[in-house]
Amino acid sequence: MLAKQALQLIKTRRTCRSFDKFTPVSDKALENILEAALWAPLSIYQLQNRKFVVLKNQAREQAAALLSSDPSVLKYMRYMYEHQPWGREADWETKAAAFAVDIGAAPVMILALAQKNANVHKMEHNVGSLWCAAQNMMLQAHAEGLDTGVVTFLSEKIKEDLLRAIGFSWEEWAPVYILNVGEAVEEPLPLEREAENTLVILDN
């Protein structure tokens, strides 16, 4: 039964772009989400050289203002919608513009940071570990009855400004993503998955 429940949790998770800003995330739910992040696979090179910075209230507003001031956020979203290989909704442009105003309006943002490393291979492991943590957090949030959505950045200036706002060194840390957490105003429909992308190699 547990296996079926786990698979159902994975299949029903959604990436949401529109949140109810005024419905708070409980401290207990947030604590569980962060604990799930800590139990994601670790880099084999730099164990636990990562940070999860919770942005709420004024800190959240400051981060959203920084991101919404960068035209690359909306430009990137429009590019992704225009080039997605699956059907898009007729009002996608309106939704993208609404998202860019307040970055989805989630009451909580979790900023994921990787410690910088001049060794590209080691840095890739550190970033990969953070993306594993993103999936853990999204699944735990879903189990808590909450919704999530990942936000990434193109602008190096925005990354530096975000770090400065929370008191972290640009020379030492690299922002990888922000995870929006809250209750969705609208949850997207699931996209069909391509079964042929799963390959089975038979060793006879």
CA nearest to 64, candidates 99, 96, 102: 102
pLDDT, mean of residues 101-106: 92
**Which tokens go with 201?**
């190699």
Task: Look up the pTM and report it.
Answer: 0.90
What pLDDT does residue 89 have?
A: 62
- Encode pLDDT of 107-147 as tens digits: 999 999 999 888 888 888 889 999 999 999 999 999 999 99
Helix (H, G, I), strand (E, B) or coil at 98: helix
Domain segments of the chain as ranges: 40-186
| Beta-carbon contacts of residue 144 (< 8 Å; ≥ 6 apart) | 29, 32, 33
- CB burial of 34-53 (b: ≥16 within 10 Å; e: otherwise) equals bebbeebebbeebeebbebb
Q: At residue 69, does pLDDT exceed 90?
A: no
* Least confident residue range of 17-21, 58-62, 83-87, 188-192: 83-87
5 vs 148: CA distance, rounded Å: 19
Given a cut of 60, whether residue 85 has pLDDT beyond it is: no
Which residues does 9 contact at the CB level (< 8 Å), separation at least 6? 139, 142, 143
184, 107 contact by CB (below 8 A): no
| Structural contact between residues 162 and 175, judged by C-beta atoms closer than 8 angstroms | yes
Stretch 179-203: mean pLDDT: 83
CA separation for the pair 163, 59 (Å, rounded): 12
Could you please report the per-residue DSSP string of 10-45?
Answer: HHH--B---B-TTSPPPHHHHHHHHHHHHTSPPPSS
Whether the predicted pLDDT of 88 surpasses 70 = no
Beta-ladder partners of 173: 115
What's the pLDDT score for residue 87? Answer: 52
Q: Which range among 3-17, 45-59, 85-99 has the greatest average pLDDT?
A: 3-17
pLDDT one-digit tens code per residue, 14-33: 999 899 999 999 999 999 99
What pLDDT does 90 receive? 64
What's the CATH fold of domain 40-186?
NADH Oxidase (3.40.109)
